[in-house]
Amino acid sequence: MDSHKRQRDQRRRALLALAGVTAFSSLPQSWRRPMVESVVLPAHAQTSPSPSSSTDGEATPPEVPESSGETENPPAAGILRGLVTSPATKKDEGGPVADAEIFMTSMDGLGDYSVKTSEEGMFSISLPAGRYAVVIEASGFYTWSSFPDVMTVVSGQPLTENISLLPSS
């Protein structure tokens, strides 16, 4: 890992720690988004009965009742979208910031998510409804954080946040 990326990861972890978020791990990017949001075990799987003995002395597994096929619904989703830009300065015209990384960490324990902006600086991501601490990073810009505020995603309603990043040089 190059020193720039390591410093960026340390800054991101520090900002998230200030927000009280410690769940954002250093796992590879593809592992950060949970594959399974929640699991509901059927009643028979929530205990571990001892195997019963058959008449010939061999252990037999307990009977498993058939499942009704019904599963619990996952948390309802909302959409976080927006535009990441840079302001006009004496050195630069400003405009959209392409390939900015946006990290969202659920304050409700729903997981960590990330998305990158398009060439036009736009982003959109479907998230479980809840409160999120948000950090935005882009090469050549200061890191932006929502701390101490959080962004609240509501089921079925898009939340639009337009952010302006300050150039670091």
Q: What is the pLDDT of residue 54?
A: 45
pTM for this model (two decimals): 0.58
Residuewise pLDDT in 10s, the chain (169 residues): 576 666 666 666 665 555 554 444 444 444 444 444 444 555 544 444 444 444 455 544 445 445 444 445 556 789 999 999 998 777 778 899 999 999 999 999 999 999 999 999 999 999 999 999 999 999 999 999 998 899 999 998 899 999 999 998 7
What domains are defined for the chain? 3-26+76-164 (2.60.40.10)
Q: C-alpha distances in angstroms, 5 versus 1, 51, 82, 100, 139?
A: 7, 52, 25, 14, 10
Instruction: List, as one string, the DSSP characters of 58-84.
Output: -EEPPP-PPP----PPPPPEEEEEEEE
Query: Is residue 105 a contact partner of residue 151, using CB atoms and an 8 Å limit?
Result: no
Q: Cα–Cα distances in Å, from 73 out to 10, 38, 77, 156? A: 36, 9, 11, 15
pLDDT of residue 49: 43
Q: How far apart, in whole angstroms, are the C-alpha atoms of residue 168 and residue 147? A: 19
